[in-house]
Structure 1
Amino acid sequence: MFTTKVIAVILCCLLVSSYGLQPSTCPDQGDGNYGCFDIASQGSCTEVSNQPPSSDIRWPRSGIDYNIDWTIKCGDIIAYKIRWSSGGWSDWYVPGVNDMDAKVNSGNGLRRMWSYFYDHTHSYIICKTHINNRLRGC
């Protein structure tokens, strides 16, 4: 008997936590799905096209650092292209997926293709956090 009551209480609690009372300001989207999520502080992504060479030596010296985009651009570069000296554009590179430079660099160091931002025209898609969530200095 005690076990039955305990199970009933647990089920009631689970039911309330799953279908709990929603604030009256939350619109019912059907099937008990209430749209009450605050996404106002999420970041946004922007495509930045045809940027001239940056002449910022940190790009080629960053090696395989994933965070140099945050250091230099205050955001997460999620994809980028390089315009080669021939005038043609590379395919899209995605950091950590397909952007390792195959060229042997000084000191046999590894680096990402965004190292060419230093001396090549480039385009990229960058995602930046909402103003309330920015890192210090950005």
Structure 2
Amino acid sequence: MADVMLVGHCGPDAIMLKTVVQRALPDAGVELINDHPSLDAALERDVVLLVNRELDGEFRSGRGGIDLIRQLSEAGTAAPMLLVSNFADAQAEAESAGAMPGFGKSDLYHDDTTRRLQDAASRFG
């Protein structure tokens, strides 16, 4: 089972997301990542990345979660990446950059969100 990394989320959002992840993936570990060195270390394992549209923390991408997804995708990162954003245009841009279909905070408790998390984690067998 892959662990789930909450990338660039503030504390209150991380608590909410952790609850959703644990409901969808009870055996997965959940960690908050708010800097690039921690992200680099996490990517050495089987992880799923839930990337915030507006990054909270210190990341090399500089401009936000979609840019981070694009950078990681171009670098050949194998980790499934999902954008957390309520904005449809941001979701479309993230998918074009290499992310799987993500979800917004308004959809945290929808069945589609559970399926998307389970699908991402299932890529590791």
- TM-score, scaled to structure 1: 0.22
- TM-score, scaled to structure 2: 0.24
Higher normalized helix content (fraction of residues):
2
Q: Report the structure number with the largest CA radius of gyration.
A: 1
